[in-house]
Structure 1
Amino acid sequence: MSTTELDWFKSSYSGGGGGNCVEVAVRPERVHVRDSKDTHIGSLMVSHEAWSAFTVLAADAQV
């Protein structure tokens, strides 16, 4: 599947200022993550388990 065929979304915490932002596309078999400023370079693909662990750690780091 091409990354152009995926439904990408940004976090609601992302600002419009072009800062550090990622986009995520969730598929049944994996989660795709890419740089929102440079979308043509491709995406990182991780398991749902890895993505879940990352988001838990990221949420804890914001405290």
Structure 2
Amino acid sequence: MKVQWRKSSHSGGVNDSTCVEVAGLAGAVGIRDSKDPDGGRLAVSGAAFGLLVEKIKTGSLDQP
């Protein structure tokens, strides 16, 4: 089965260089750099991905 990668609808579009892409995997969520789709990838649990999204939305990971 081919993995379907997607960008957020909140990204800057096709040419935005600051995006990550995500994909639903069997029992996990895949994450990769949209600028380097053949490079390294992460696979995290759905719970871990949800926590990451929550932290991003609340700004708790923002640097000063």
Global fold match (TM > 0.5): yes
Answer 1 or 2: which has greater helix percent: 1
Aligned positions, number: 59
TM-score, normalised via structure 2 length: 0.80
| Residue in structure 1 matched with residue 36 of structure 2 by the alignment | 38
Q: Which runs of at least 4 in structure 1 moved beyond 6 Å after TM superposition?
A: none
Runs of 5+ consecutive residues of structure 1 not aligned to the other structure: none
Percent of aligned positions with the same letter in both sequences? 41
| Structure 2: runs of 5 or more not aligned | none
TM-score (norm 1): 0.81
The root-mean-square deviation of aligned C-alpha atoms, in Å, is: 1.8
Deviation (angstroms), 1:13? 1.0
